[in-house]
């Protein structure tokens, strides 16, 4: 959520930045500004009346103590009148504030100046491409067939237990999952991240804090009876650790990581592009999250991007980095890099990570601030990235590394899997 004061003072800039996103309702900005004006003037009036009412109440107390009952009674009626006025004004004020809030949450984050203008994924810029795409034999198989061939992932069984998009990993398939999780966590720790194990359900406040609510309500599984949401990413609980927190400036940057399962309803996505592991309702992911000083957040974004790339390099997967255009960026992000790995048999790039700087957008909702020795609390910047999401990594490992002898496990993973081939 953007800060009203910022919008008020930088109207033209806000409009200009929103245009980079191809934002469809720029009129919201003016509506917000005029609601804010109304809010401020109402509050001024209310404050003045409340001040008067407080003064009268004090006076009454004073008079009562002195036993001047009659005079007290006189002021009482005045005070009652003032209270009534202030009551109706504060009702008006809360209506205005509610409307303001409703509109405010409809505004997405402002893209950073380095973000390319554009409307869709076609306008994303390829920032870099790394590694060589393997050339496969003519009889190469897509990962879902390899999964069946080696009996390591069972989609049918998952259908029976839960439904499409909930695969069962078996034998070496399950071990590969565990190996990847540990590999990612160990590396994150080496890079300075502190491992956390958060709840995988969150309450409404948390969903709101990171921006999933109200925007992506339908994308989350909701446990109605307890009003809890299954997390779509560890970003939600790990970032919300700092909701309503004022941290000390010298504690920045705060670096946390977490492995969690992630749950996404993915309503509306069906068809060939979502076959096999390409898109699941439940998947595993290690997430890295930072709380940063505003002066440092873009430097940190680059570091996080490099870190994610280092994982892909270690796994010997060809990848590319996209700098997302305004139109393709998430609602809450100011700048996002997507990392995509090459899946040789499908001959497609698949997104395995998304690294974003949210600047103060989440922090404003979370009321996540930092404070130096001097001065007022200031909103921090939040960043996060997948490091990494498993299914598509597995898909590309299977497809790219298929050999006569079986699926070759990358050298860095062998100490974790304790086998060199899936065969």
Partner RNA sequence: GGUGAGGUGCCUGAGAGGCCGAAAGGAUCAGUUUGCUAAACUGACGUACGGGCAACUGUACCGAGGGUUCGAAUCCCUCCCUCACCGCCA
Query: Looking at 377, 408, 419, 421, which residue binds RNA (CB under 7 A)?
Result: 377
Nearest to 353 by CA among 382, 299, 396: 396
CA–chain centroid gap for 27, Å, is 26
Q: Which is nearer to RNA, 10 or 313 (CB)?
A: 10
Query: Looking at 28, 31, 71, 83, which residue binds RNA (CB under 7 A)?
Result: 83
Does 40 sit near RNA (CB under 7 A)?
Answer: yes
x/- letters, 342..371, toward RNA (CB under 7 A): ---------------------------x-x
Q: Which is nearer to RNA, 46 or 321 (CB)?
A: 46
What does the H/E/C string look like for 181-206? HHHHHHHHHHCCCEEECCCCEECHHH
Using DSSP, state whether 79 is helix, strand or coil: helix
Q: Which is nearer to RNA, 79 or 409 (CB)?
A: 79
Q: Which is nearer to RNA, 6 or 130 (CB)?
A: 6
Angle at 157 between CA 394 and CA 273, to 5 degrees: 50
Does 126 sit near RNA (CB under 7 A)?
Answer: no
Nearest to 255 by CA among 183, 191, 194: 194
Query: Looking at 5, 113, 114, 135, which residue binds RNA (CB under 7 A)?
Result: 5
Task: Give the CA dihedral 22, 351, 391, 345, nearest 10 degrees.
Answer: 130
d(CA 164, CA 17): 40
Tokens of 114: 């380095």
Whole-number minimum distance, CB 381 to RNA, in Å? 16
79-83 — which CB contacts under 8 Å span 24+ positions? 79/53, 82/49, 82/52, 82/53, 82/56, 83/53
Does 50 sit near RNA (CB under 7 A)?
Answer: yes
Q: Where are the alpha helices (DSSP H) in 317-389?
A: 361-366
Whole-number minimum distance, CB 398 to RNA, in Å? 33
3-7 — which CB contacts under 8 Å span 24+ positions? 3/360, 3/364, 3/379, 4/32, 4/36, 4/100, 4/104, 7/32, 7/33, 7/36, 7/107
Does 251 sit near RNA (CB under 7 A)?
Answer: no
301 by Cβ neighbours in 10 Å (0-12 / 13-18 / 19+) ranks as buried
Does 4 sit near RNA (CB under 7 A)?
Answer: yes
Q: Which is nearer to RNA, 54 or 310 (CB)?
A: 54
Q: Which of residues 53-82 bind RNA (CB under 7 A)?
A: 53-58, 60-61, 64, 76, 79-80
Does 224 sit near RNA (CB under 7 A)?
Answer: no
Q: Which is nearer to RNA, 113 or 227 (CB)?
A: 227
Q: Which is nearer to RNA, 68 or 310 (CB)?
A: 68
Tokens of 203: 């309450």
Whole-number minimum distance, CB 230 to RNA, in Å? 17
Does 103 sit near RNA (CB under 7 A)?
Answer: no
CB atoms within 10 A of CB 78: 14
Which pairing describes strands 246-248 and 369-371: parallel, antiparallel, or unpaired?
parallel
Nearest to 263 by CA among 276, 281, 279, 236: 281
Does 99 sit near RNA (CB under 7 A)?
Answer: no
How many residues form the binding site for RNA (CB under 7 A)? 31
Does 373 sit near RNA (CB under 7 A)?
Answer: yes
Q: Which of residues 7-36 bind RNA (CB under 7 A)?
A: 36
Does 95 sit near RNA (CB under 7 A)?
Answer: no
Whole-number minimum distance, CB 99 to RNA, in Å? 15
Q: Which is nearer to RNA, 5 or 135 (CB)?
A: 5
Residues in contact with RNA by the rule CB under 7 A? 4-5, 36, 40, 43-44, 46-48, 50-51, 53-58, 60-61, 64, 76, 79-80, 83, 94, 246, 369, 371, 373, 376-377
């Amino acid at each position: 959520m953007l800060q009203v004061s910022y919008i008020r003072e930088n109207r033209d800039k806000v409009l200009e930045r929103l245009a980079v996103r191809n934002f469809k309702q720029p009129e919201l900005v003016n509506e917000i500004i005029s609601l804010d004006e109304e809010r401020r003037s109402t509050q001024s009036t209310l404050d003045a009346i409340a001040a008067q009412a407080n003064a009268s109440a004090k006076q009454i107390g004073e008079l009562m103590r002195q036993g001047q009952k009659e005079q007290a009674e006189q002021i009482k009626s005045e005070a009652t009148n003032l209270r009534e006025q202030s009551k109706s004004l504060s009702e008006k004020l809360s209506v205005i504030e509610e409307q303001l809030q409703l509109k405010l949450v409809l505004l997405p984050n402002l893209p950073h100046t380095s973000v390319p203008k554009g409307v869709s994924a076609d306008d994303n810029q390829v920032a870099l491409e790394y590694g060589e795409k393997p050339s496969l034999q003519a009889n190469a198989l897509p990962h879902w067939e390899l999964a069946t061939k080696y009996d390591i992932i069972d989609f049918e069984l998952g259908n029976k237990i839960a439904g499409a998009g909930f695969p069962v990993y078996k034998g070496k398939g399950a071990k590969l999952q565990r190996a990847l999780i540990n590999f990612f966590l160990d590396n994150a720790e080496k890079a300075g991240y502190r491992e956390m194990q958060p709840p995988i359900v969150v309450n409404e406040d948390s969903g709101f804090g990171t921006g999933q609510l109200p925007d992506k309500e339908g994308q989350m599984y909701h446990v109605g009876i307890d009003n809890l949401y299954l997390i779509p990413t560890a970003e939600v609980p790990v970032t919300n650790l700092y909701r309503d927190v004022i941290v000390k400036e010298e504690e920045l940057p705060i670096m946390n990581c977490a492995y969690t399962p992630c749950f996404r309803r993915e309503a509306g996505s069906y068809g060939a592009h979502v076959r096999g592991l390409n898109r699941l309702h439940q998947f595993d992911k290690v997430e890295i999250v930072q709380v940063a000083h505003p002066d440092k957040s873009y430097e940190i974004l680059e570091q996080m991007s490099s870190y994610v790339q280092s994982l892909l390099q270690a796994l010997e997967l060809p990848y590319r980095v996209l700098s997302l255009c305004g139109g393709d960026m998430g609602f809450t992000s100011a700048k996002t890099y997507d990392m995509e790995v090459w899946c040789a048999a499908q001959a497609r790039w698949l997104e395995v990570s998304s690294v974003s700087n949210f600047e103060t957008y989440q922090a404003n909702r979370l009321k996540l601030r930092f404070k130096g020795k001097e001065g007022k609390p200031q909103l921090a910047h939040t960043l996060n990235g997948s490091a990494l999401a498993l299914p598509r990594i597995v898909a590309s490992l299977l497809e790219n590394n298929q050999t006569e002898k079986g699926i070759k496990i990358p050298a860095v993973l062998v100490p974790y899997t304790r086998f060199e081939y899936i065969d």
